[in-house]
Amino acid sequence: MIKAEQKPMEEILRSIDPYKKILLSGCGACVTVCHAGGEKEVLLLASALRMARKKIGKPLEILEATPSRQCEPEYAQELSELSEKVEAILSLACGVGVQTLVRFFPKMPVLPGVNTTFLGETLSHGIWEERCQACGNCILEKTGGICPISRCAKQLLNGPCGGSSKGKCEIKKEADCAWQLIYDRLSSLGQLYKLEEIIPAKRWGIESRDSGLRRIIREDLKI
Amino acid sequence: MARIGIFIDTLKGTLPSSFRERIRTTLRDVPEVVFSVEEDEFTSETFERMLKLLEHEGVERVVIVGGSPKLYETTFQKLGFPLPFNPYLFTVANIREQALWSSIDEREASEKAKNAVLKAIRIASSLRPIESQTLPLKPEVLILGGGISGISIALTLARAGIYVFLVERERTLGGKVTELWKFYNQELEAKGWLEQKILELRQNPRISLLAPARLKYLRGHMGRFQATILTDKGEETTISPSAIVVATGYRVERKRGGIYDHKRMVTLSEMEKLLSETNPPFPFFEGKRVETVTYLLDDTNEDIKLDSINALKQSLLLQGSLKCQVAILCKEFKVSSDRMERLYRKARELGVLFFKYEEAPRFSLVNGQIQVEVKDTSILRKEDQWSVSILSDLVVLCETFLPHQETMELSALLRLHLGKRGFFMEDNPQLLRVRSNRRGIFIAGGCRFPQEISETLFEANAVAQEVLALLSKGAYTYDLSVAEVDPKKCALCYTCPRVCPHSAIEVEKYAEKNVYLTHHVPENTKWGAAKVDPASCFGCGICVGECPARAITLRHYPDEFIYIQMGLDG
Amino acid sequence: MVDFDPKIIAFCCDQSGYPSADMAGSLRLNIPKNVEMVRVPCAGRVEALYLLKALEKGADGVVLFACYEENCQYLRGNLRARGRLSYIHRLMEKIGLEKERIEICYLATNSGVKLVETLQRKTEELKRLGPNPCSEGK
Ligand SMILES: Cc1cc2nc3c(=O)[nH]c(=O)nc-3n(C[C@H](O)[C@H](O)[C@H](O)COP(=O)(O)OP(=O)(O)OC[C@H]3O[C@@H](n4cnc5c(N)ncnc54)[C@H](O)[C@@H]3O)c2cc1C
Ligand code: SF4
Ligand code: SF4
Ligand code: SF4
Ligand code: SF4
């Protein structure tokens, strides 16, 4: 799922500095799961922010809410009543959720409270790691299910760079070399022959971000 | 508004009357308080009086003002509950230990007491009844591991009328004992003793033996575990025991490398085998008589005493009837087991030599024998310490006691905790040695801690008694003073199943929100969220504070009580 | 030093803090008067939020009385309490509140003396730090 991390307190404080009354909105899905913006974090952050502002003599009033998922229009709209009572919204949802609110509350400043960090998985409780960069054309079938786009520092598609050493990446010494992982995995699956196929360079400009905003349209689903 | 009755415990008149008077003044202004009466102590007669008064006044909440709540909680447990309503509808204001006795003067004490009483009244007003529930328990137990622990627990339980499934992964029963030749503190031969036990086991109609077999899945909780057992023929059986005993023992590993690989370096187990095959008067090794044997007891096993026991057992025989010269080199010799002191003295009298070393002894090969050189530090004066060199036919090494390789996997399957060394961990080393962190799962024998047979048997008996105590009533009754998940708020983040120390929470299979695992879904499951098994929950509240969605409440200890005690409005 | 009576909220685990407070009374030791004792079933019941709320709503300091490591009746309640406290300490630092205002103190069932000493020391420390500048109504 989407993984996020709370922004530095100073940055949050700076962004809400002009306001006396805000809505702090969490999100009940991805960011709850990674303990960055669920109800628990909303209440903690709200309390901390109130204290920080109290200390500098500029008391802040905070309304607290945590819709189930901030990135769906219906859930976002649940906040409309509360939003009328405040000057700004601080959102602990990922960047998607923030922008859903932006879309529905055109006159309201909506500020991010977390850094949306990556699409990742839980390694063990409290440790998350990146797994996918939403490149738009998944090649996991060719790489034994290990993603070189997100896990290789250089996003190499056809084997490791010269810096791969003892199974570790030269850019981040504590990280496994993605290509070592790919090799090991294919070898244990008995599919090393897959390495012989050259993976063509990614067409970033067609499948991916470089061509501008991506959009999925399912004509059949449209109502 | 709740109607509250107050009983002021004068603690046999030891609370000063002026102090009590101040409290009554406080109480006068509280609208919820229907009556406040004084009692000098709580006895069965007091209880009768209380009951009448409560019924007569139509009061539904009680505050006891007096000593520590611990005092009343134990008295009430002993004497039964003096309330005509749910036992959770009472609370205590501790004005003795935490006010009268811990203040500078009576004025300060009265202030503290007033605060305590007002808080207690607020808590009383928001108390809710907590019901109890009963879980039927069939007399069926699953035992994993058919070593000496598993066997003796199975026998004890079966004799008491309990049906036992005994799952052993090997073809033969007996575990480590099958490799033993003698017990150090009993005259019996291990083999005969074991055979008799196994015979008894096979004849008992209440014991079903599944071997070779292993546990494949475990679902559910105490009273309704669902255990899938896989036999080596690939057959699967699912049983639903009420309780589980883990008695999977341990394994040993020998030291390797360099001279340690030499054939004259043997392990305690190999020596045990050699001895069992020996015909007096002399032991032989590769056709040659063995005359000198040196034991090296190093500190690989820390607090495990088995090496010392074994070395002593074997050396008594070697030095005695088998006419060898034995030397034991050790860092410390552990004699704290049953009768070990006496055997140790006997060994010394027979002429077994004991050397204490600090620096590791050195080994070299001299004419096919092993020369052991060691600096003996058993003499305290440094100047008097000497170096010894022993030419040995055999050097006996201790093995390292380790958990079985698949212990990790098994612990994940059973959702049990492992201790630092990777053995199964007891719930509480002082009090609950044979209980695991999960209610209804017990651990016995070497899988918790390698120890000698008499201790193992003692522990096996303790486990059997615990299981009997649990199952003999046919049901387990518990209060719903437990954690509860609000399924609407749960984000399925898996924090609580991971953090619960008693593995009392699982994410119930999904019906509405997600469909991940579709097999084994109990019918009519409409939950789709984490779910606490109330019979397995210990009510600690750890999960509550951890849930990122704040979806969990502790039924008998909600936020509100904490905020009230903090003196905040919540 | 400001002369004031610091308000302390003391969370007391039912296995250590609470019986120790009772023990303090039995030993006739003086528990400072501005302490609110909060009985909890386990230190692990103490949510991170309670620690912040305590400060926000008027406490000058907080002490969390938990069982010694490896001595928790519920195996990891004290460890979770410590983890949550470290998170709160980080938050406090960022909003410019002294970390020393909240501490965790490990006790056995009969540590009446240590409990009182800790509370008395905390009172002195808080007097030195002065009133909590972040709390409501100040
Ligand atoms: C060399 C040596 C000498 C010893 N000498 C003495 C002595 O003289 N006197 C004395 O009192 N003690 C002695 N002991 C200790 C004694 O052997 C043990 O304390 C005792 O055997 C432990 O019994 P147990 O049932 O706990 O474990 P074990 O005997 O190890 O039995 C465990 C059983 O569980 C089975 N099992 C393991 N994993 C699984 C699984 N996943 N599923 C199903 N089954 C499983 C194993 O195959 C085994 O049958 C000695 C030990 C050693 C190594
Ligand atoms: S708003 Fe972001 S965090 Fe929330 S559900 Fe949508 S994607 Fe996940
Ligand atoms: S190849 Fe692309 S889509 Fe597939 S996992 Fe990697 S980044 Fe994601
Ligand atoms: S911690 Fe909370 S949100 Fe996560 S699974 Fe448990 S109940 Fe659900
Ligand atoms: S209260 Fe404790 S035992 Fe019960 S579910 Fe929560 S963590 Fe587990």
pLDDT band at C13 (very low <50, low <70, confident <90, very high): very high
Cα distance between residue B531 and residue B533, in whole Å: 6
Instruction: Determine if ligand 3 sits within 6 Å of the CB of residue A147.
Output: yes
Helix C48-56 vs helix A39-55: crossing angle, to nearest 10: 30
Cα distance between residue B282 and residue B4, in whole Å: 86
Residue B286, pLDDT score: 83
Is B559 within the bounds of a domain?
no
For the stretch A117-141, what's the b/e string if a residue is b when 16 or more beta carbons lie within 10 angstroms of its beta carbon?
ebbbebeeeeebebbeeebeeeeee
Q: For strand C61-67 and strand C102-107, is the pairing parallel, antiparallel, or unpaired?
A: parallel
pLDDT band at B525 (very low <50, low <70, confident <90, very high): low
Mean pLDDT over B374-388 rounds to: 82
CATH of the domain at A70: 3.40.50.2300
The pair of three-digit structure tokens given for residue C117, joined into one six-digit string = 């000493």
Residues of B with CB under 8 A from a CB of C: 68-70, 94, 96-104, 108, 111-112, 115, 417, 427-428, 437, 499, 501-502, 538-542, 544-546, 554, 557, 562-563, 565-569
Report chain B residues whose CB lies below 8 A from the CB of C42. 540-542
In this prediction, the residues of chain A whose per-residue pLDDT falls under 50 are: none
Is A154 within the bounds of a domain?
yes
- The whole-angstrom distance between A200's CA and the closest CA on chain B is 34
Is B353 within the bounds of a domain?
yes
Omega of the bond leading into A67 within 30 degrees of 0 (cis): no
Please say whether the beta carbons of A178 and A151 come within 8 A: yes
Please say whether the beta carbons of C105 and C114 come within 8 A: yes
Domain count, chain A: 2
Would the CB atoms of C135 and A43 count as touching at under 8 Å?
no
Cα distance between residue C26 and residue C112, in whole Å: 9
Residue B523, pLDDT score: 55
Instruction: Determine if ligand 2 sits within 6 Å of the CB of residue A2.
Output: yes
Is A123 within the bounds of a domain?
no
Instruction: Determine if ligand 3 sits within 6 Å of the CB of residue A138.
Output: yes
- The upper half-sphere exposure of residue C112, i.e. CA atoms within 13 Å in the direction of its Cβ, equals 17
Residue B271: is its pLDDT beyond 50? yes
Whether complex ipTM tops 0.90: yes
Residue B517, pLDDT score: 40
In B315-459, the DSSP E strands lie at 325-330, 353-356, 362-366, 369-376, 386-392, 394-397, 400-402, 441-443
Residue A5, pLDDT score: 96
pLDDT digit string (tens) for B478-510?
999 999 998 889 998 999 999 999 999 988 765
| Whether residue B436 sits in one domain with residue B495 | no
| Whether residue B261 sits in one domain with residue B389 | yes
Domain that holds residue B211: 140-251+403-475
| Whether residue A38 sits in one domain with residue A75 | yes
Cα distance between residue B259 and residue B369, in whole Å: 12
| Whether residue B289 sits in one domain with residue B379 | yes
DSSP state, residue B161: T
DSSP state, residue C44: G
| Whether residue B392 sits in one domain with residue B421 | no
CATH of the domain at B516: 3.30.70.20
Please say whether the beta carbons of A120 and A131 come within 8 A: yes
| Whether residue A6 sits in one domain with residue A112 | yes
What angle is formed at CA C73 by the lines to CA C72 and CA C76, rounded to 5 degrees? Answer: 45
| Whether residue A113 sits in one domain with residue A50 | yes
Q: How far apart are the first and last CA of chain A?
A: 28
pLDDT digit string (tens) for B43-81?
888 888 888 999 999 898 999 999 999 988 888 777 777
Shortest CA distance from A67: residue in chain B:
B489
Say which of A40, A43, A48 has its CB closest to residue C95. Answer: A48
Using DSSP, state whether B476 is helix, strand or coil.
Answer: strand
Q: Which of B84, B31, B86, B35 is nearest to B63 (CA)?
A: B35
| Whether residue B374 sits in one domain with residue B308 | yes
Would the CB atoms of A50 and C49 count as touching at under 8 Å?
no
| Whether residue B264 sits in one domain with residue B240 | no
| Whether residue B489 sits in one domain with residue B427 | no
Q: Which of A82, A117, A152 corresponds to the end of one domain?
A: A117
Cα distance between residue B303 and residue B420, in whole Å: 13
Residue B512: is its pLDDT beyond 50? no
For chain B, percent helix, then strand, then coil, each to nearest 5?
Answer: 30, 25, 45
Query: In terms of pLDDT, which residue wins out, B513 or B145?
Result: B145
Residue B570, pLDDT score: 44
CATH of the domain at B408: 3.50.50.60
| Whether residue A98 sits in one domain with residue A51 | yes
Please say whether the beta carbons of A152 and A178 come within 8 A: yes
| Whether residue B360 sits in one domain with residue B271 | yes
Tell me which ligand sits closest to the C-alpha of residue C75: 5
Q: Which of A30, A33, A69 to mutate to test the interface with B (most CBs of B within 10 A)?
A: A33
| Whether residue B100 sits in one domain with residue B229 | no
Shortest CA distance from C76: residue in chain B:
B501
| Whether residue A110 sits in one domain with residue A20 | yes
Task: Tell me how crowded residue C114 is: count the other CB atoms within 10 A of its CB.
Answer: 18
Q: Which atom of ligand 1 lies closest to the CA of B184? A: 8
Highest mean pLDDT among A112-116, B267-271, B281-285: A112-116
- The whole-angstrom distance between B102's CA and the closest CA on chain C is 4
DSSP state, residue B320: T
Q: Which of C30, C33, C120 to mutate to test the interface with B (most CBs of B within 10 A)?
A: C33
Say which of A33, A43, A125 has its CB closest to residue B491. Answer: A33
| Whether residue A174 sits in one domain with residue A109 | no
Phi, psi of B497 (to 5 degrees): -60, -30
Is B566 within the bounds of a domain?
no
Instruction: Determine if ligand 3 sits within 6 Å of the CB of residue A133.
Output: yes
Is B562 within the bounds of a domain?
no
Which residues, other chains included, contact C48 with Cβ-Cβ below 8 Å and sequence gap of 6+? A40, A44, B545, C84, C85, C87, C88
The mean pLDDT of chain B is: 87
Q: Which of B475, B508, B526 corresponds to the end of one domain?
A: B475
Q: For strand B483-485 and strand B400-402, is the pairing parallel, antiparallel, or unpaired?
A: unpaired
Q: Which of A11, A17, A54 to mutate to test the interface with C (most CBs of C within 10 A)?
A: A54
pTM of the full structure: 0.85
pLDDT band at B333 (very low <50, low <70, confident <90, very high): confident
Say which of A32, A43, A125 has its CB closest to residue B491. Answer: A32
| Whether residue A138 sits in one domain with residue A50 | no
Task: Tell me how crowded residue B486 is: count the other CB atoms within 10 A of its CB.
Answer: 14
Task: Tell me how crowded residue B49 is: count the other CB atoms within 10 A of its CB.
Answer: 14
Q: Which helix (H) or strand (E) holds A91?
A: strand A88-91
Is B511 within the bounds of a domain?
yes
Domain count, chain B: 4
The pair of three-digit structure tokens given for residue C10, joined into one six-digit string = 């003391």
Residues of C with CB under 8 A from a CB of B: 9, 18-19, 21-26, 28-31, 33, 36-42, 44-48, 50, 53-54, 57-59, 73-77, 80, 84, 116
Q: Is B179 left (phi over 0), alpha (psi -120 to 50) or beta?
A: alpha
Is A90 within the bounds of a domain?
yes
Would the CB atoms of C40 and B98 count as touching at under 8 Å?
no
pLDDT digit string (tens) for B396-429?
988 888 999 999 999 999 999 998 889 998 887 6
pLDDT digit string (tens) for B440-481?
999 998 898 888 888 888 899 999 999 999 999 999 999 999
Instruction: Determine if ligand 1 sits within 6 Å of the CB of residue B307.
Output: no
| Whether residue A165 sits in one domain with residue A110 | no
- The whole-angstrom distance between B483's CA and the closest CA on chain A is 17
DSSP string across B18-69: HHHHHHHHHHHT-TTEEEEEEES---HHHHHHHHHHHHHHT--EEEEEES-H
Instruction: Determine if ligand 2 sits within 6 Å of the CB of residue A93.
Output: yes
Using DSSP, state whether C30 is helix, strand or coil.
Answer: coil
Is B200 within the bounds of a domain?
yes
Residue B201, pLDDT score: 92
For the stretch B243-259, what's the b/e string if a residue is b when 16 or more beta carbons lie within 10 angstroms of its beta carbon?
bbbbbbbbbbebbeeee
Q: Distance of alpha carbon A211 from its chain centroid, rounded?
A: 21
What domains does chain C contain, in order, with CATH numbers?
Answer: 8-129 (3.40.50)
Report chain B residues whose CB lies below 8 A from the CB of C24. 97, 102
Residue B511: is its pLDDT beyond 50? no
Residue B180, pLDDT score: 77
Mean pLDDT over B317-333 rounds to: 87
| Whether residue B209 sits in one domain with residue B157 | yes
| Whether residue A139 sits in one domain with residue A113 | no
Residue identified by tokens 């000497």 is B386
| Whether residue A7 sits in one domain with residue A113 | yes
Residue B515, pLDDT score: 38
Q: Which atom of ligand 2 lies closest to the CA of A100? A: 1
pLDDT band at B514 (very low <50, low <70, confident <90, very high): very low
Is A72 within the bounds of a domain?
yes
| Whether residue B438 sits in one domain with residue B376 | no
Q: Which helix (H) or strand (E) holds C104?
A: strand C102-107
Is A178 within the bounds of a domain?
yes
The pair of three-digit structure tokens given for residue C20, joined into one six-digit string = 């120790």
| Whether residue A112 sits in one domain with residue A22 | yes
Cα distance between residue B251 and residue B96, in whole Å: 55
Say which of B494, B499, B549 has its CB closest to residue A39. Answer: B549
| Whether residue B394 sits in one domain with residue B259 | yes
Mean pLDDT over C102-128 rounds to: 95
Q: Which of A117, A146, A180 corresponds to the end of one domain?
A: A117
| Whether residue A72 sits in one domain with residue A28 | yes
Is B61 within the bounds of a domain?
yes
Residue B187, pLDDT score: 64
Would the CB atoms of B554 and C45 count as touching at under 8 Å?
yes
pLDDT digit string (tens) for B170-219?
998 988 888 777 676 666 677 888 889 999 999 999 999 998 999 999 98
Is A195 within the bounds of a domain?
yes
Domain that holds residue A103: 2-117
Say which of B491, B498, B499 has its CB closest to residue A38. Answer: B491
Q: Which of B398, B418, B444 corresponds to the end of one domain?
A: B398
CA quadruple B98, B102, B106, B107: dihedral, nearest 10? -80
